[in-house]
Amino acid sequence: MFFAPGVNYELHRVTGLYSPALRFPVPGELFLWRLRGEWHMATATNGRNWLTLDERRRVKGFNNPVTGRQFSVGRTVLRMILSKMLNCDPIAVRLDTTADDHVMVKVPNENRIIMADVSYVGMWVVIAVSAGRVGIGLVNPRGALSSQASGVLDAAQIQARERSHHRAWDALGRLPLAPETRWHSLVLPMPGAVRGAVTVDEPIRNVTAFGWTS
């Protein structure tokens, strides 16, 4: 598991349409979700109905049906997550999406914006929500399942961290970067040979993670 020094972790299962994340993350706090791309609560009829017309077109436009299903699950779950924070129905959640698919949400009655990133690898969908810039990096090295492949897996972990940093950096156009900003990364434990990382623009003190416990 991930347990970085100086970081408090709270782990939950992913169950039903509800999650304990009933509020927006505050500075220094990171919310994470990990679930399978075919998660039944997001592929049910009501979940598909939560997608916008443009999102449904994107799903149909993917050459690989698996990629389209992952995108559909990611957007549906993100609306479910944000609806709990906004105290509204998922279908009422409007996603302010950037060119690189980051999602921005203005916190009601507060002068601040939170950011969400969604990433996909294999059968997995990973979502991160932060009070600042956030990026997820996921890498699935081919043929790296044996014990002799430790070097390949180490390189994949470095690549995952670099990808997460690039994703967070790509969001700079939407949120100003303070001169003293330093990037902070955490390892995201993933099954098998998959390697993951998440990067944010502030020190992480608390992580609430859904889907990393049975």
CATH code for position 58: 3.90.470.20
Q: Find out whether 167 and 198 touch, Cβ atoms under 8 Å.
A: no
Total domains in the chain come to: 1
pLDDT of residue 172: 63
Tell me the average pLDDT across 19-30: 85
3 domain-assigned: no
Choose the weakest-confidence range: 24-28, 116-120, 176-180, 183-187. 176-180
Q: Find out whether 133 and 164 touch, Cβ atoms under 8 Å.
A: no
**For residues 134 and 38, what is the distance between their CA atoms, to the nearest angstrom?**
25
pLDDT of residue 41: 63
Task: Give the closest residue to 33 by CA, choosing from 103, 126, 165.
Answer: 126
- Residue 167 in tokens: 């994703």
pLDDT of residue 149: 60
Beta bridge pairs of residue 198: 136, 186
Q: Which residues constitute the domain of residue 38? A: 8-210
- Side-chain-side CA neighbours of 54 within 13 Å: the count stands at 4
146 domain-assigned: yes
| Top-confidence residue, 191 or 171 | 191
Mean pLDDT of the chain: 84
